[in-house]
Amino acid sequence: MRVTGSTARTGDSELDDIIYRISHDLRASVRAVMDLPEWLEEDLRAQGVVPSADAAETMALLTDHARKLDAMIAGLLAYSRVGRLQDRVRLLPAEVFQGVLAEVAPGPEVKFYCQFAAQPIWMGAADAAKVFQVLLSNALTHARSPDRDLEVEVVSCKSGETWELLFADNGPGIAPEAADRVFRPMVRQAPGLDAGEGGAGMGLAILRKIAAAYGGTVDLEHRRRRGGTLFRLRLPVLARRRQLSAP
């Protein structure tokens, strides 16, 4: 089964600018709220007051809700930044992937099978890194299982005037009834996970927006024989550098 994720409209830079500015300001306030319970407890203990169990539970709940809100705002902020605030530069996908892998540090229980052609791409460095961050985070969150190692296959190559990236895992896959909506903003693949564990539901929406911003497409395929999910990203090969739009 294949579901395309390339139908989003991304031309409304004014809306992106509004989302960026609101999200940026809101996140600063939310992060302050996340610290308030700790500051309050420190002030109380300095005055010789030990918070009761109920009070400690309430403060922990406040921190948890602020953390979830921060994750949602961070997702909106990343979504608004796609294709903006960066130049298109010449990048080697293998180097971008290795940089993201070192940052994420998934652990030895995740097996990677990678094959990168030497074909460079011209993208904003932040957008290129975000492609691999989204795909890797998606696999680590939804494809891991306690009874087997997670296997991830990454292949990039040039086909004609198109650069293609294949990213597959051996997880449970995405249910057919959910495959047509996972690219929408604020849709989480696993509703049982909160915004901290399963993300805010913005990852694949960001991936789709990146594809569209560079004139490409992203497809999702459920691998019936081998199991898991295959993402196929296609972007036109650009041989020049140009300035991306700024807010």
User: Does the pTM of the predicted model rise above 0.85?
Assistant: no
Contacts of 247 (CB under 8 A, 6+ apart): 13, 16, 17, 20, 21, 84, 85
Q: What is the pLDDT of residue 189?
A: 62
Which residues partner with 218 through β-bridges?
A: 233
Does 98 or 147 have the greater pLDDT score?
A: 98
Q: What is the DSSP letter of 84?
A: B
Structure tokens at 223: 């691998």
Number of C-beta neighbours around residue 148 at 10 A:
10
* pLDDT tens-digit series, residues 89-101: 999 999 999 999 9
Does 96 or 196 have the greater pLDDT score?
A: 96
Structure tokens at 242: 């140009």
- Per-residue pLDDT, averaged over 115-142, amounts to 92
- Highest mean pLDDT: which of 3-12, 62-71, 111-120, 224-233? 111-120
* High-pLDDT (> 90) share of the chain, %: 33
- Residues 167/114, Cβ–Cβ less than 8 Å: no
User: What separation in angstroms does the CA of 125 have from each of 20, 82, 96, 98, 174?
Assistant: 19, 11, 8, 13, 29
* pLDDT tens-digit series, residues 2-54: 444 443 344 467 777 777 778 888 888 888 888 888 888 888 889 988 888 89
Does 202 or 5 have the greater pLDDT score?
A: 202
Of 23, 1, 20, nearest to 12 by C-alpha is 20
Q: Of 8-22, 76-90, 156-170, 226-240, where does mean pLDDT reach its minimum?
A: 8-22
Structure tokens at 138: 């998606």
- Residues 207/5, Cβ–Cβ less than 8 Å: yes
Q: What is the pLDDT of residue 116?
A: 95
In b/e form, how buried is each residue of 94-117, taking b as 16+ CB within 10 angstroms? eebbeebbeeeebeeebeeeeebe
* High-pLDDT (> 70) share of the chain, %: 85
Average pLDDT, the chain: 82
